[in-house]
Amino acid sequence: MAVLGLALASPAFAEGDAAAGEKVFKKCKACHAVGEKAKNKVGPSLNGIVGAPAGQVEGFKYSKSLVELAGGGLVWDQETLVAFLKKPKDVVPKTKMSFAGLRKDDDITNVIAYLQTFE
């Protein structure tokens, strides 16, 4: 019953393959961490990022552009994450993130599924 409650409380996102997303996340590991002992690196740790308000990772200094968007209510919902992972600078102009984006839609869906496994 508790699992059902958690499932209903979680935002609904498109199904992806978390195992495949873990492989895609290797492209992100130089700058981001996930998991129990994840710490901020060049980029913020990404535990609990899916469905979270932007710019909220404690101890991370975000770009002015992201801070402004966060103040306007930017949330890392599926639509925003898809757009950001495809072309980060289209979503957050002047972002500090230098990654150009993921080209394959399946990679994006899968990495979001992988990120969803981290609270």
Task: For 40-90, write each residue's pLDDT tens digit.
Answer: 999 999 999 999 999 999 999 999 999 999 999 999 999 999 999 999 999
Q: Which amino acid is at 3?
A: V
pTM: 0.86
Per-domain boundaries in the chain: 2-115
Strand partners, 98: none
- Closest C-alpha among 69, 38, 39, 37 to residue 55: 69
In whole angstroms, what separates CA 119 from the centre of its chain? Answer: 12
As a CATH number, domain 2-115 is: 1.10.760.10
pLDDT at residue 5 is higher than 60: no
Residue-wise pLDDT tens digits, 11-50: 445 589 999 999 999 999 999 999 999 999 999 999 999 9
- Closest C-alpha among 33, 50, 34 to residue 42: 33
The pLDDT, as a whole number, for residue 69 is: 97
The pLDDT, as a whole number, for residue 14 is: 55
26-38 burial, b if ≥16 CB within 10 A, otherwise e?
eebeebbbbeeee
